Structures are given as structure tokens and as C-alpha cells.
Chain A
Amino acid sequence: MNKEKIIWVKIKTDRYYNIFIKLNNVGINIFDNKKGKDYLLIKTTYEDYQRIKKYLVSYECEIVGVTGLPKVTKIIHKYAFFTMGTILGIVLLILANNMIFKVDIKTPNGEIKTLLKNELAKYNLKTLRMKKNHRQVEKIVTQILDNNKDTLEWLEIKYDGLVMVVNVTEKTKTTQEKVYDNCNVIAASDAKIISLNIYQGVALKEINDYVTKGEVILTGNIMHNEEIKNTVCANGEVYGEVWYKVKVTVPFQEDYVFYTGKKRYNLNVKINDNKYAILRSRIDKKKIEEINLYKLNDFEINLVKEKEYVMKTRILSVDEAYQKGLKLAIDKINIKLDDNEAILVKKVLKKEVNDSTIYLEVFIATKENIGVLSVIEGVDENGSEFNKTSN
């Protein structure tokens, strides 16, 4: 039965019982049947349909449907473009999911990047090539590391969507810290010493002493009876009070961002870091906030909230401009300081209010590490030392 072509045949009649007896007499196989208003639908074979046409000539009959594989074939024929498109789409999707579109080697070192690119290309791991499975990748990583023992410390290859990400750690060439035989700690700037921690060497200055830039604070020469008995590399922490005079000019006119309250929603599609807006934006100046709606590998759909703003101008009062200027001056100094350093004193020395600006001169005293290492490299003909300063 399955090998035969099964079809639905429509026979025009309103005498159902009569037609059944006639069909039985002719020896027609009926696998199913449905009654209509003035017709009978029977499920039979194509051969039986031919016999109905041959023997029951007075009845009008026609094929109205096919079943099984012929039905599938018929549907495929009917929707040829759709079917082809779907198949092509699935094939492309499978290909795209298993293909490398970009190789991202995470290292700032250009030489390592080139080296890895060439090594990976040997194993056919490059753009527009098929991805390899985990076991193969592990094997390749081991081989690359074996081939480049001197340059590579660690290597990892992973897939992030269509991108093959290569994480690498270079082998660090251990350089021994150079040990100097003779060095001094000198002042990096004019200051008043406020704390002194000596690890090695002899202090030439004390707390509350004033030093000028380049002046030796700790010496590496161990003296006895005005003779150099030994030389060491002086080492220590010297914190001093350093003074700055900061000049700041602040205009009274200030630009600021004003949100109008107008909002627009849009959608954007992000493919491989490239964004494509679906709707045209009607706002010129806007602040954008994105909410991710869908993400698959490197493909994203985001809901975009656009908030319109305009640049407005306002006039600062003298006090506001003064505070702004003071803050600017402090920020200017703060940027130079590290965690152990701090501003000790701040004082406005001069304040000039002009038509459109305010001019401030601010005195700032800071606690800073002023000690820098100065290596004594040798002694010239006149007995003076050649120094090389380093932090």
C-alpha cells in the first residue's frame, strides 16, 4: 500500500450507497471516505482511479489531493522559492556558526601577534576557515607552545561567536635589578623636609631643614675623619612640604547641557561592533541609553532611548566663579599626587575680578615624596662626581 501512490478522488454523486456497490463490483480499494453534499471523496490508489475512470464512465471523477511522499513533493514544488530559501538559510546559518570571521589576538606586542598569526595559519586557523573542535584546538595550543618555548608562556584559544579570541602571555625575560655601588638621595624640588626614613646611607639633612632642588639629602659615602671609608647606595623615604603657586582664570560665562525632556525610542542592530539604526533618528543632539533585547553571539538587537539636549549658557556669580577656580587649582595639583601624598595648605593669594573673567592665584602646600636616587658613576679629573639621577 505504501509503495502505491495514494490519492483522494472526488466522485460526483448523491446516491452514496449505490456508488459503493458499484465500486465494490469493480474491485476498488477504499482506504477512507468522506461524504459531501453532492459528492463522495474516496482515498484510493492511482491504479484504482484509472479503473474508476474506465468502468464507471457515467460518473464524473477527479483527483483532489495526494498523500504521503507525493504530497510532500507537491508542496515543495508549490513553494519552491520558499523551500530553497529556507534550505539555503539553514545551510548558511550552519556555515556561519562554524566559520571563523575574525581572529582577535589579545596582545599589544606586534611581533607576537605576527608570530601567532603565522602559527595559527599553519593549522588552518584563520579567517573564513572552519572552526576546530575543542580537542583539536587543545592539541594545536600544545604544539604552538612547544614550538615557541622561548617567547610564549601561556596560550588560550576560544570562540566568541564568529570571532576566534587568542589570549596569550609572553614569556617575561627576568632582568635582575641593577645594584649600584654608590648613590645618593637628592631633592626633586625645593621643599622643607617633614619626614625622613633612612634605610641605608647617611643623612645630611634633618627634619624641618629646607632643601633646594638637586641638593643631597642622604649620601652613600660613609665618612670618617673627612675620609671616605666606604660607599653604599643610599636609600630612604623623604617627604617634604612643597609649595606651588597656581594661576587660574575662570570665565563667568559657562556652557552646560540642558535636557529638553523630549525622548524618542528606536531600535538598532549591532553586528560585529557595527551599529545600524532601524528607524531614522529625528533628534540632532541626544544622549543615548541602550537596553539589550536580544543577543546571539555577535548579533544584538537593542532598544535605544534618545534624550534630546541643548547646550545652554549661564552667567556665574563672582562667588560661583571663585569656587570653580579654587576647585580647578586644587584638581590641577591633586592629579600629580599619589596615595601617600596630600595637600596641606591652600590659600588664595590674589583675586582679580574682570568684566568677563575672574583671575586667581592660589598658594598650595603639599606633602610629597621628594627623594630621588642619584647614582654616582665616577669622579672627574677635578675630583667632582658624575651623577645620574633616577626615580
Chain B
Amino acid sequence: MKSLHFKDYFKNYLFDLEDFITIYDNNLHVFNYQKLNKLSDTEIVLKLINREVMVKGTNLKIKQMTKQELLITGIIMKVEFIYE
């Protein structure tokens, strides 16, 4: 029988342990990122909890940046996850 992982869901709900990415129009919102590894107008690389995300596009800019969230604007062409 598959476990429902109530404990994990509850823990995540309380402490925001998981990361997630939302893309809409020309914006990309990253929640719970750890570090900004690389930044240029064509490529942005972010370190998440157990992976990296590479965003490729043109005219990429960081609109907002806090310790937990990041908002990228520009023409997004590709989002790629890199697992270690």
C-alpha cells in the first residue's frame, strides 16, 4: 500500500521545504532557490535544493530578488533542470 506522506506534506506546508518554478507570459518565478550561480542577458543558472535550473532566453533580467524568491523577466526560450 502506497504511503500518503501526510507528515511530509504537513512539514512542507509549514516550512516551505520544496522549491517550485512558475512561468507565465515573459516572467519566471522561482520559489525557494538557494543561490544565483550565473547571470547574463541570455542565461541564468540557479541552484535549488537538490538540483540546478538553467534558464535560456534573450534580454533576461532580474526584476525582483529576495532571499527566497526570484523573478526573472525577458524572452524565455528554454528551462532546463540539471541534476547532480
Closest to B41 in A: A17
* Bound-complex Cα distance A31 to B65 (A): 6
Chain B, range 12-67, C-beta contacts under 8 Å to A: 35-41, 62-67
Q: Residue A29 contacts which of B38, B39, B41, B67 (CB distance < 8 angstroms)?
A: B67
* Bound-complex Cα distance A322 to B15 (A): 116
A140, CB-defined interface residue at 8 Å: no
Chain A residues near B35: list those with CB within 8 A.
24-25
Q: How many residues of B are in contact with the other chain, CB < 8 A?
A: 13
Question: Are A30 and B67 closer than 8 Å at their CB atoms?
Answer: no
* Bound-complex Cα distance A28 to B38 (A): 17
* Bound-complex Cα distance A376 to B68 (A): 118
A32, CB-defined interface residue at 8 Å: yes
Chain A residues near B65: list those with CB within 8 A.
20, 23-24, 28-30
Q: How many residues of A are in contact with the other chain, CB < 8 A?
A: 13
Chain B residues near A32: list those with CB within 8 A.
63-64
Chain B residues near A21: list those with CB within 8 A.
36-39
Chain A nearest CB: distance from B10 CB in Å? 27
Q: Residue A17 contacts which of B40, B64, B67 (CB distance < 8 angstroms)?
A: B40
Question: Are B36 and A20 closer than 8 Å at their CB atoms?
Answer: yes
* Bound-complex Cα distance A28 to B64 (A): 11
Chain A 6-46 against B: per-residue CB contact (8 Å), 1 yes, 0 no?
00000000000100110111011111110000000000000
Closest to B68 in A: A29
Given contacts A20-B39, A21-B36, A24-B36, contact A31 B64 (CB under 8 A): yes
Residues of B within 8 A of A (CB): 35-41, 62-67
Residues of A within 8 A of B (CB): 17, 20-21, 23-25, 27-33
User: Can you give 27 contacting A-B residue pairs, CB < 8 Å?
Assistant: A17-B39, A17-B40, A17-B41, A20-B36, A20-B39, A20-B62, A21-B36, A21-B37, A21-B38, A21-B39, A24-B35, A24-B36, A25-B36, A27-B67, A28-B65, A29-B65, A29-B66, A29-B67, A30-B62, A30-B64, A30-B65, A30-B66, A31-B64, A31-B66, A32-B63, A32-B64, A33-B63
